[in-house]
Amino acid sequence: MRPMHHWLRRVLVGACAAAVAASASAQQTIKIGDLSSYKAFPAFLDPYRKGWEMAVDEINSKGGVLGKKLEVIARDDGANPGEAVRVAEELVTREGVAMLTGTFLSNVGLAVANFAGQKKVVFLASEPLTDKITWENGNKYTFRLRASTYMQVAMLMPATVEAHKKRWALVYPNFEYGQAAAAAFKKLLKEKQPDVEFVTEQATPLGKVDAGAVAQAIDDAKPDGIFNVLFGGDLAKFVREGNTRGIFKNRTVVSLLSGEPEYLDPLKDEAPVGWIVTGYPWDKIKTKEHLAFVTAYQKRFNDYPRLGAVVGYVTMKSVAAAIAKAKSTDADHLAAAFKGLKLDGPFGPFYFRAIDHQSTMGAYVGKIALENGRGTMVDFSYVDGASVMPSDSEVRKLRPATD
């Protein structure tokens, strides 16, 4: 029995030592849980991961935050709200993360925002654009980085109104993001141009667009202008079918996100020239902040950045700034720190509004052109997010008094 006793004692001592070492290691890091649809949308989320990896390395090389290094635990959310909530629960309870970041699809972002509000854990929604995240479904613990659907539609509105087209066709993916974009477009354009008509709406299943049928339906409606919200593979199919059928000729096309390299690059010389878009002309932005970001990104990855890289980079910079301001990883302290948090990013300075937890980071608006056989943005300008947000009184009507 004595040999077994000594053996068991050694095992227990070893286990205790390992536990102490693990605990000591955990105390030296601040864990952040990131969940996004990495497998479903790699064109955006591979650069997103590279962006936050670069930011974390920069932060840690300068001593981390509160004397501790940031550690990101990344998980795939399956592009599914139910799976995302399961993953978020695992990150919080099993991994012990201080806060959550990420998500891509709007319906997934809403599910995680609801989880964050119930579990009282801070969630920085990096990418999902639905207005509900910071308005109707807003809560004390959820904040959003990117310009929302409403904001980006508002950015496109001056050029839309200037085109003065009366009959509009709308095409959008039939889930929260697409529905919100269509609603915002109709509302804002109707306010500016009361005589406008919406002659057809093509709400397509996400990832399963029947591009031929959609293009034909739009052409049959004889619109003067087209508002497009499709992205990714759906956008590519729609553009190619539309080019083949000539439905874009002599029509103004206004399109969300289509100037982003993630969606423009795969089209190559089929890029739809003349479309008015929000996007990211990475190779033409010459500000000091952006050039520094591009140089560092290219040096590290031997590749050019997509918009996802900017979003990932600024996500972790925001996380670090909030923790430093809060001087704590306590959820209530972090939530308070995010309100009014100011910082600089590759697009310049921005802040998180206290009233609705929305960042003022803006976007670029311009037109698509072909250069050297590929699509790019021209005649573009940066629109500060703060300039396209509704007033505080309007937000109070939309957002519940959760904090």
- Let me know whether 384 and 255 are in one domain: yes
Answer for the pair 199, 224: CB distance below 8 angstroms, yes or no.
no
Answer for the pair 80, 36: CB distance below 8 angstroms, yes or no.
no
Distance CA 382, CA 265 (A): 21
User: Is residue 13 in some structural domain?
Assistant: no
| pLDDT value of position 106 | 93
- Let me know whether 227 and 370 are in one domain: yes
Residue 212 CB neighbours (<10 A):
14
Answer for the pair 366, 380: CB distance below 8 angstroms, yes or no.
yes
Answer for the pair 258, 228: CB distance below 8 angstroms, yes or no.
yes
Domain CATH code at residue 125: 3.40.50.2300
| pLDDT value of position 400 | 81
| pLDDT value of position 102 | 97
- Let me know whether 265 and 376 are in one domain: yes
Q: What is the pLDDT of residues 364-400, one digit of tens each?
A: 999 999 999 999 999 999 999 999 999 899 999 988 8
| pLDDT value of position 401 | 73
- Let me know whether 132 and 160 are in one domain: no
Answer for the pair 354, 134: CB distance below 8 angstroms, yes or no.
no
Q: Which of 324, 342, 361 is the last residue of a domain?
A: 361
- Let me know whether 96 and 183 are in one domain: no
Q: Residues in the chain with pLDDT < 50?
A: 1-4, 8, 11, 13, 15-26
| pLDDT value of position 21 | 43
- Let me know whether 176 and 317 are in one domain: no
User: Is residue 3 in some structural domain?
Assistant: no
- Let me know whether 299 and 235 are in one domain: no
| pLDDT value of position 165 | 96
Number of domains in the chain: 2
Greatest Cα pair distance, the chain, in angstroms, is 93
For residue 221, the enclosing domain spans 150-283+364-388
- Let me know whether 38 and 176 are in one domain: no
- Let me know whether 255 and 381 are in one domain: yes
- Let me know whether 114 and 238 are in one domain: no
- pTM assigned to the model: 0.91
- Let me know whether 353 and 371 are in one domain: no
Contacting residues for 306 by C-beta, under 8 A, at least 6 apart: 43, 44, 47, 260, 261, 262, 280, 282
User: Is residue 17 in some structural domain?
Assistant: no
| pLDDT value of position 1 | 40
